[in-house]
Structure 1
């Protein structure tokens, strides 16, 4: 292990919110804990400010943030020491560990223990290495009921933008609403037709990856390999704090941009003038967690927004006023939106996520009438008992089947009449924690689904990794390419394996391994079937397993793009490894979660180079070139007809590479880490490149950030940067 890795491995143990592993607090360093109502109230306020956005006011947790009350908390913490618990709390918040005052951490500790049954009777508990968390608990609270027992009420501070801003006159806000300010109505707006979505103007960027095939390729060529080093900054738009990974849309010189917390801006794409702004006002009991929305959709005269509180909203593209909104799912159950929607044949299609808790609903994809918001169909991504694939979950009843989230936007082939969507893994992450083995395929997890957009039926599916057990999901973009008479669909998940399928039938054609992986000891070259290493397949709850790559990938949400010039996919990759331990999870309604502890390290033989950018020729499935560096890549790639590929990284660099060789042709450094989906557009004969700086996020950012602590960047600075060549 390199010196970098030695430093980072220990740093990571203390940095990640979902690790909940070691950490220690000496008796000499720890002040006594006072279990008084006053300390509890202070802890409640501090928790609401700094913790509830991810762990929720109900303590049930969300995504990678574990439950902090109830049976799963008891299973993890009852036999562990109070000092361990106090030390772990000090590793929070994840992006700013140990940033609260000692008194705040102690108050949060008291508050959480009280939520789990500890009496707040004024006693003072002194630090003791042998005292266990369980010894302080008078009973076991459930995650939902813990809210009431902990005294949650109107006195809790909200702070930090974690939820709604309160109703008018201080009254609680029980329903969400949108607030729009129109500064300049867009008079000359031309509605976007279905034909334009099928064949967009070269100067527009109307869809998440520009076109339905998700190639992430711009046909503009004014900026090329001969002049890209003349690029200069044209304008900047500051964005709200929070997790930021947007894709700007551009139509007829107007840019539509999603900021954190579901704030939507319409901007003049030539100079950044604000035209209108829509702000989502959430209900007071909603907590946002990760606040990003990766893409919007445009169709007709509307902009479509999938909100963090699991609604779908249509905004008038001219004014920003709400046209309609409809609730897709109940956010109280953890449902949320991250990716955004696509519009196909007048239908707004959305994949939901936040499906890691056990209840009688599961994850799903829905289609809605673009004019009214009426739901037209709903496809559940977890097979139910008695249905095809229902027996692939063992004997688990439907309400104990978790995960299979849909947190990336799909692709569409209009000639075949199919949309292609990827699905995530089953949850809890480790098969043993969900009461299954890797032999239980858990359909339709980790699959490519080919769906009929007319009725939501599955025409074919390909499950890439049945029974996945390491939090290495295959949910990301599906790129559609026609080549040599074949209609192909390409995808890559966290395993770093590029899958090549026939998109008419789902038949496996080929694969390649882009980075070192030791998860599978065999991949059948004829069928694509995978076989886990024996120690992974046989792992029980409590067993540690070491694998490469980690949950950062391989590949993650930072989408790849296609370059017709070199017939290659250019892919941002991550090179880290993982140790994972399945935790006990109560198999009962209301429980669930991800149920695992994790540790990370650098990938062997990489010399500490965590980021890799590589081009893969799609006929031969061979690597053409690669660039490796210390900093992780945190943007999608953008390829252009000018022979250039753009990409950004954790170390604030935004670069242009030659698609033929990977040579760096131009670079600039932004205000903070570069994160999101760069786009290119044209207005009045001039080509622009837009990219966002961004903070926040899950494994693709947090893991390399902790493994490379020497890479520093400001903790604020979300913004959109727009570049172009000097005017002629």
Structure 2
């Protein structure tokens, strides 16, 4: 009887998303229900904000562990669970197990899906075997497996409805990102920027998995889905062959631009927003030119995939500053008027605020004072340097066209922030950003391309930024209208978890040592901390069940920062340079894979 009730509850929750069609119609309503957590980043705007306020700044210090759940996997646990009615959906790193848990029955496992994947995909996963979560829509759970398979699972039973291969692991293409369900489509990107792939975003029909469209990051106009006259870059048409004419010869064919980050969606504009990653190879001497459209924010029409506008943040990237971090959509007061804005904290250390309708650049300021590779981003629309970062020659990694070791570059390749998503509170008007305070030495070397083999071409060493007293991270509050840090909390290690802001005037985040922390949204004063069994690189979320608010987070050290522990690496330059910087982590935490759920005492 209990199982029948659960199936009925799931079906009812899905009816709003099932009819003819448009799953988005249901999700538009479901995202308004603060009791659930229906998308990886909370809502289409990726704000990671909850209206729940039962847990607030006055009582958050009383939080206790309500229950826990082990995933059975000892690798990096990024992402976080979804909550749909009485069911929680939890995912794990490779082999990408998915669990449906009954919230009415002490987290009993309703069903478990464990794909059988070729373990040979593990060596071509760049920075641990992570997965950033599942998506929900139309009574279906969508999972992007490591081997690039996109699978649609019946939300009530876990049965496979359909599956489709999104890439070729033999070429270094892998799946680590969370899908986005919008309209009658499910969208997914591709990982593999270190293997000379061509990045792309692909839309599949929810009903049967048929491909609706695919837009590449680099290549001919018809492949990247741009209109030379109607797709704009900083207000001007991109012109013909924009995706090939800043590459030397056919270098674009192995040009990278992977799309393994987060996606956002504005239903009023019908635009999907996401970023592309680094160009291949990491050795900039081997690929002269701007290397468009790697390192770029894309705004694409959901129905057709055509790009309305693009903005390249780091032309001719020389530092591996992937542009894939989340795009937070918020209406902000800028220059005396309310602008439909997009806020993006890039790996390159600049916090960008753009008009999400037109792509106009409104703000571009450093959100970590240590950033030194560029002095500024030119904001004068009349300048031929408009929108371009002004690179400091000393920190160029392709100096004078030669392979030299450039020292003291800030930030390191893992950026002032990597994929760990920020949060935005409309109540305070502030963005809460988990950051890395890390610098590097970067020495390129010549590398040749072989399909399925690493196409990196650089050796890196990472270490704390100067004047940081050895600390590798900060958790900051950011004013995106002014481009200013309001407050900053130093941490001994990078803050690699996703933040959560709530209507209770509390902001949550996790640390690499394993602490879940709660701070005052206005002042940053610490209100609560609890050490979970392993380092936290997952994203904190919250939900309400049975009239009670809960806070949930996955712990399990790994990801790029924790790759040394997760994969047993010891050389300082291993893990693309990260192992040396985070070697001390082994003194504070250990491998794990656990969901911890907190609540106030009864």
Taking structure 1 as the reference length, what is the TM-score of the superposition?
Answer: 0.71
Q: Which residue in 2 is equivalent to 1:352?
A: 190
What pairs up with 1:136-155 in 2 under 5 angstroms? none
The answer on 1:659 being equivalent to 2:508 is no
The answer on 1:318 being equivalent to 2:164 is no
Larger Rg: 1
Q: CA separation in 2, counterparts of 1:486 and 1:230?
A: 39
Q: Which residue in 1 is equivalent to 2:54?
A: 222
Q: Which residue in 2 is equivalent to 1:18?
A: none
Deviation at 1:284, TM superposition (A): 6.4
Q: Deviations over 1:364-420 (max 9, x none)?
A: 110001010001111111123873331011223543x32100011200001111000
What secondary structure, in the 3-state scheme, does the structure 2 residue paired with 1:393 have? coil
- The one of 510, 515, 521 aligned to 2:363: 510
Deviation at 1:589, TM superposition (A): 6.4
Q: Which residue in 1 is equivalent to 2:110?
A: 275
For structure 2, the 5+ residue unaligned runs are 18-23, 222-239, 381-385, 565-576
Q: Which residue in 2 is equivalent to 1:244?
A: 77
Contact 2:477-2:485 at 8 Å conserved across structures:
yes
Deviation at 1:684, TM superposition (A): 1.6
Q: Deviations over 1:566-607 (max 9, x none)?
A: 211010111111111111112576766111101122211111
What pairs up with 1:112-151 in 2 under 5 angstroms? none
Q: CA separation in 2, counterparts of 1:689 and 1:268?
A: 16
What pairs up with 1:381-392 in 2 under 5 angstroms? 381-384=217-220, 387-392=241-246
Most deviating of 600-609 and 309-318? 600-609
Deviation at 1:615, TM superposition (A): 0.4
Deviation at 1:541, TM superposition (A): 4.7
Q: CA separation in 1, counterparts of 2:187 and 2:259?
A: 11
Change beyond 3 A, Cα 1:286–1:704: closer
Contact 2:75-2:592 at 8 Å conserved across structures:
no
- The one of 266, 279, 283 aligned to 1:430: 283
What pairs up with 1:485-500 in 2 under 5 angstroms? 485-500=338-353
Q: CA separation in 2, counterparts of 1:716 and 1:623?
A: 34
The answer on 1:266 being equivalent to 2:100 is yes
Note the aligned Cα RMSD (angstroms): 2.1
Deviation at 1:472, TM superposition (A): 1.6
Contact 1:496-1:573 at 8 Å conserved across structures:
no
Q: CA separation in 2, counterparts of 1:198 and 1:184?
A: 25
Deviation at 1:700, TM superposition (A): 7.1
Contact 2:139-2:155 at 8 Å conserved across structures:
yes
Contact 1:552-1:701 at 8 Å conserved across structures:
no
Change beyond 3 A, Cα 1:421–1:244: same
The answer on 1:544 being equivalent to 2:405 is yes
Structure number with the higher strand fraction is: 2
Q: Which residue in 1 is equivalent to 2:247?
A: 393
Contact 1:426-1:442 at 8 Å conserved across structures:
yes
Q: CA separation in 2, counterparts of 1:496 and 1:248?
A: 29
Q: Which residue in 2 is equivalent to 1:567?
A: 429
- The one of 257, 263, 288 aligned to 1:410: 263
Deviation at 1:538, TM superposition (A): 2.5
Q: CA separation in 1, counterparts of 2:452 and 2:516?
A: 44
What pairs up with 1:298-317 in 2 under 5 angstroms? 298-317=136-155
- The one of 589, 594, 602 aligned to 1:719: 594
Deviation at 1:184, TM superposition (A): 10
Q: Deviations over 1:489-515 (max 9, x none)?
A: 010122221001011111111122111
What secondary structure, in the 3-state scheme, does the structure 1 residue paired with 2:9 have? coil
Q: Which residue in 2 is equivalent to 1:333?
A: 171
Q: Which residue in 2 is equivalent to 1:119?
A: none
Change beyond 3 A, Cα 1:397–1:602: closer
Contact 1:541-1:584 at 8 Å conserved across structures:
no
Q: CA separation in 2, counterparts of 1:244 and 1:346?
A: 29
Contact 1:449-1:458 at 8 Å conserved across structures:
yes
Q: CA separation in 2, counterparts of 1:325 and 1:404?
A: 25
Contact 2:276-2:293 at 8 Å conserved across structures:
yes
Contact 1:357-1:402 at 8 Å conserved across structures:
no
Q: Deviations over 1:195-251 (max 9, x none)?
A: 342232111111111110000101101000011011110100011222211321101
Deviation at 1:532, TM superposition (A): 1.4
The answer on 1:643 being equivalent to 2:476 is no
Q: CA separation in 1, counterparts of 2:378 and 2:115?
A: 49
For structure 1, the 5+ residue unaligned runs are 1-181
Q: CA separation in 2, counterparts of 1:396 and 1:650?
A: 41
Contact 2:374-2:392 at 8 Å conserved across structures:
yes
Q: CA separation in 1, counterparts of 2:273 and 2:540?
A: 23
Q: CA separation in 2, counterparts of 1:335 and 1:397?
A: 18
Q: CA separation in 2, counterparts of 1:242 and 1:592?
A: 21
Taking structure 2 as the reference length, what is the TM-score of the superposition?
Answer: 0.86
The answer on 1:529 being equivalent to 2:388 is yes
Q: CA separation in 2, counterparts of 1:338 and 1:604?
A: 33
Deviation at 1:287, TM superposition (A): 3.6
What secondary structure, in the 3-state scheme, does the structure 2 residue paired with 1:427 have? coil
Q: Deviations over 1:428-484 (max 9, x none)?
A: 11211xx223xx111111110000111111110000111111112221100000123
Change beyond 3 A, Cα 1:699–1:665: closer
The answer on 1:188 being equivalent to 2:9 is yes
What secondary structure, in the 3-state scheme, does the structure 2 residue paired with 1:198 have? helix
- The one of 317, 328, 331 aligned to 1:468: 317
Q: CA separation in 2, counterparts of 1:568 and 1:330?
A: 41
Q: Which residue in 1 is equivalent to 2:38?
A: 206
What pairs up with 1:53-72 in 2 under 5 angstroms? none
Change beyond 3 A, Cα 1:273–1:562: same
